[in-house]
Amino acid sequence: MIATARLGRRLLLASNNAHKLTEYRALFAGLPFMLQVPKDLGLTLDVDETGRTFTENAVLKAQAFARAADVAALADDSGLEVDALGGLPGTRSRRYAGEDATDADRMALLLERLRGVVTAERTARFRCVIAVAAADGSLLGSVEGTVEGLIATEPRGRHGFGYDPVFWLPEHGCTMAELSPEEKNAISHRARAAAAARDLLAAWRG
């Protein structure tokens, strides 16, 4: 647990994803905040991610949820950037193959568009941006984390989700999906962004 309620400092995670909540609770352990999700407050809010960058989308979500709940809020936006595709799928990572596409559909489309591209030119990165807004919606700051790699020619591994099975980590000699959850959480883009966000929250005196 991040904090006791008596500290009176609540932090709203702009997501109802249970796995994300568990992860952030572990990453922010020891900070003087009680981490909550929208359903804890009976809040239903759908923010259009109209930003052109991960930072813009994270800020949009953090500010919208903070204002709606009158509570400081944290939001993230993340995805895959492939250099040979000009940075795509980028902010459209989840919607790359259509709104109802599966992870397998998205990976298949990605691999098809990289067909014939040599290994040295298949460079890519996972990027995560976290934004934090005060209860009045004012931006406290944003931070980011990245992890560099290459796009493999075929999926490998049974862990993780999204594009993890085709994201090759040269220094580990495997894809992200071949790492254990503990190994992934030690190096992932979200973990790196969260470490920076932890420093931001620790310094906040609001």
For range 139-151, the mean pLDDT:
96
Residues designated as active site: 77
Q: What is the pLDDT of residues 155-184, one digit of tens each?
A: 999 987 899 999 999 999 999 999 998 898
The confidence score (pLDDT) of residue 25 equals 84
Query: How many other β-carbons are positioned within 10 Å of the β-carbon of residue 68?
Result: 18
Mean pLDDT of the chain: 90
The answer to whether residue 5 scores a pLDDT higher than 60 is no
The confidence score (pLDDT) of residue 81 equals 98
Distance CA 60, CA 34 (A): 22
Helix 189-203, helix 18-27: angle, nearest 10: 60
For range 194-206, the mean pLDDT:
84
| pLDDT class of 205 with cuts at 50, 70, 90 | low
The confidence score (pLDDT) of residue 69 equals 94
Structure tokens that stand for 157 in this block: 């591994």
Number of domains comprising the chain = 1
The answer to whether residue 1 scores a pLDDT higher than 50 is no
Structural contact between residues 47 and 60, judged by C-beta atoms closer than 8 angstroms:
yes
Range of the domain at 158: 5-203
52: CATH? 3.90.950.10
The confidence score (pLDDT) of residue 87 equals 97
Query: How many other β-carbons are positioned within 10 Å of the β-carbon of residue 180?
Result: 10
